[in-house]
Amino acid sequence: MNKINIQAGQIIFREGELNNSMYIITSGTVEIFFTHKNSATRLALMKKGDFFGEMALFRAKPRTATARAVMDTEMVAVESKQQLERYLLANPEFAAKMVRILADRLANTNELLISKLNEITTKEIEYQIEEK
């Protein structure tokens, strides 16, 4: 794992990039955002002790968001599953925090998915009623 110092305003990674690193913030603040129709939407504001980019370790897919330092930031880059496993074993409190956060993120994603599926189903039902 490598320590990285990022200056305020510097991009860590961009939407669409292929990069397999995850990051753990040791000081500073990072914003995660995505751009749609030339408009940036902030997804999260990360601070000391937070992590981001973890999906890159598990999926060989392009980044779905951009990460930018809000202030001067120091981070640790985790570049492989093996590095992450060693870090989690050496830092059980962080491991427990990571499990809680990932569970929350999954629950939020499930809620969003169910909400969108309900919207689609409602529109399909409305369409079928209008057809008759």
Q: What is the pLDDT of residues 20-52, one digit of tens each?
A: 899 999 999 999 998 888 888 898 999 999 999
Helix (H, G, I), strand (E, B) or coil at 67: strand
* DSSP sequence for 14-53: -TT-----EEEEEESEEEEEEEETTEEEEEEEEETT-EE-
Decide if domain 1-79 falls under CATH 2.60.120.10: yes
User: Residue 55 has which token pair?
Assistant: 């999906």
Long-range contacts of 45-48 (CB under 8 A, 24+ apart): 45/70
Kindly list the distances between the CA atom of residue 112 and the CA atoms of 5, 91, 116, 127, in Å, as whole numbers in the listed order.
34, 32, 6, 23
Report the alpha-carbon distance of residue 108 to residue 111 in Å, rounded.
5
Domain map of the chain by residue range?
1-79, 91-131
Would you say residue 9 has pLDDT above 70?
Answer: yes
pTM here? 0.79
Cα 47 to chain center, whole Å?
13
| Average pLDDT score over the chain | 89
